[in-house]
Structure 1
Amino acid sequence: MKPLHFLMMALAILAGPSHAAIQVAGTRIVFDGNQKEQTVRLTNTGDRPVLTQIWLDAGEEQADGTVQAGAQATPFIVNPPVARINSDKAQVVRIFKTAEVAALPQTQESVFWLNVLEVPAKATPAANAEPEAEDNRLNIALRTRLKLFYRPAGVKGDTVTAAEAMAWRVRKDGDDYVVTCANRSPIHISFASLVLKQGEKRSDVPGGLAKPNADETFRFVGAAAGAAGPLTLELNYITELGAFVPVSVPLTVGG
């Protein structure tokens, strides 16, 4: 079957924001290499049926704004790839691993993205609606993405253990502070937020992802300008179950 193509349009034709009707159970998927499949539950919380398309990719975004399912090969099969979910109903999506997972690193996790694209059914025209107004109505296609971590059978440990073993260091670069996280575990560590405090000054960066057996760098722009006193990094990392765990790390420049 040819991949389905959906054009993600951001047109200010409709008044008010658009909200996703499909709620995905959980914020991440950890695929245990000892298992053959994982499941994800999708629930339609809206008042109309929704057509959904579900696929996995390796995290490579399309540059032209289009979303092309199946363009990136992954060692998984999603079933069903397309589903119609009625209002207040749910659909269980099954993710199967294939023999191609053997080509992935077996001593550390690999990360993929699960995509859930929803296209709401066309609304029934109001009895007194003008034809031209109905022609201008736009149904927005919305996409939800969440990480899938494939954890090979030989990889032991969990996010909490990996996060507790992280090593942090900071250096000054002009008016910026550059903070580096050394993750020497085989597990990805996701951060929901990172805040650098020094005296009365605080700077923050969006969350990030520390890859296995690698360093991840975060730049706090302008944080060093006019700041004095002890440095403290406050962060929240995310567990396998999606819980936020707060951590406070004292830092020394050049340490």
Structure 2
Amino acid sequence: MTPPPRASHGRRTCQGKGIKMKPLHFLMMALAILAGPSHAAIQVAGTRIVFDGNQKEQTVRLTNTGDRPVLTQIWLDAGEEQADGTVQAGAQATPFIVNPPVARINSDKAQVVRIFKTAEVAALPQTQESVFWLNVLEVPAKATPAANAEPEAEDNRLNIALRTRLKLFYRPAGVKGDTVTAAEAMAWRVRKDGDDYVVTCANRSPIHISFASLVLKQGEKRSDVPGGLAKPNADETFRFVGAAAGAAGPLTLELNYITELGAFVPVSVPLTVGG
């Protein structure tokens, strides 16, 4: 199976395969794609996985909400960028086994995927979480052409493969805490760098903290970054480009962090430059 392109942000990516397209056909296909984006048929229960180190396995439920069977390929990676810009199944070793790695899911049916830890988890840090990515690649079954379809219609068909990515946090047995407690304990500071504001958060917990969005407000001006991840026992920096240019008044950072259950929790943090 040809691997999909790597996705730096977001949960879904797509790949199209087409051959022998005439210019007009290609233009019509491009317009069709722009007018109606593809939607994933496979729905993954939850938005993240927290693997409890006290347990031997975790499960994820995949449901086909489409009207055709879908072939899915499931694998884990460590989030490392590859030289060719792709994410290939099995290219990055992880201390987990996914079963099944490939599954056909019929319409309105579900498949439970089991993730087992191996002895190699002992090599992971035991005092804080580690993060991995679960990939679910779906390839729809080829549609049957209509009886009156033109002969070249099959050649001009574009197949879309969609990939969903979810974070998997491995939380060792000795690690205590939760996202809410960790997020509330974070310390924030801001400095001015030319026309930019650079905001840093200090996460002194053993838990990863995911942000859905961060918005910096000063008077009538607002700047945002799409989100991010604060690693355990580390500082994470967010640069708001151009936010300091011509701005005046008190600074406020408004953010949403994400709990283990996928809930967004809004927080407002007053900031002082150099404070």
Q: CA deviation at 1:133?
A: 1.3
Residue deviations 1:143-186 (CA, integer Å, cap 9, x gap): 00000000000000100000000000000000100000000000
> Paired residues, what number?
255
Q: CA deviation at 1:253?
A: 0.1
Residue deviations 1:68-119 (CA, integer Å, cap 9, x gap): 1001000000000000000110000000000000000000000000000000
Task: Tell me, in whole angstroms, the C-alpha distance in 1 between the residues paired with 2:34 and 2:245.
Answer: 44
Q: Secondary structure of 2:29's partner?
A: coil
Identity among equivalent pairs (%): 100
Q: CA deviation at 1:67?
A: 3.5
1:4/1:69 contact within 8 Å kept: no
Q: CA deviation at 1:61?
A: 3.4
Alignment RMSD (CA, Å): 5.3
Change (3 A) 1:108 1:5: farther
1:79/1:94 contact within 8 Å kept: yes
Q: CA deviation at 1:190?
A: 0.1
Task: Tell me, in whole angstroms, the C-alpha distance in 2 between the residues paired with 1:35 and 1:10.
Answer: 47
Unaligned runs of 5+ residues in structure 2 are 1-20
Which structure 1 residue ranges, 4+ long, deviate > 6 Å from structure 2?
1-15
Task: Tell me, in whole angstroms, the C-alpha distance in 2 between the residues paired with 1:212 and 1:26.
Answer: 22
1:76/1:97 contact within 8 Å kept: yes
Task: Tell me, in whole angstroms, the C-alpha distance in 2 between the residues paired with 1:194 and 1:13.
Answer: 31
Residue deviations 1:34-87 (CA, integer Å, cap 9, x gap): 000000000001111000000000002344354410010000000000000001
Change (3 A) 1:166 1:53: same
1:108/1:155 contact within 8 Å kept: yes
Q: CA deviation at 1:4?
A: 33
Change (3 A) 1:241 1:13: closer
Q: Secondary structure of 1:17's partner?
A: coil
Q: Secondary structure of 1:11's partner?
A: helix
Task: Tell me, in whole angstroms, the C-alpha distance in 1 between the residues paired with 2:218 and 2:122.
Answer: 47
Deviates more, 1:206-215 or 1:3-12: 3-12
1:44/1:87 contact within 8 Å kept: yes
Change (3 A) 1:211 1:5: farther
What is the correspondence of 1:43-82 to structure 2 with a 5 Å cutoff?
Answer: 43-82=63-102
Q: CA deviation at 1:10?
A: 9.8
Q: TM-score, normalised by structure 1?
A: 0.94
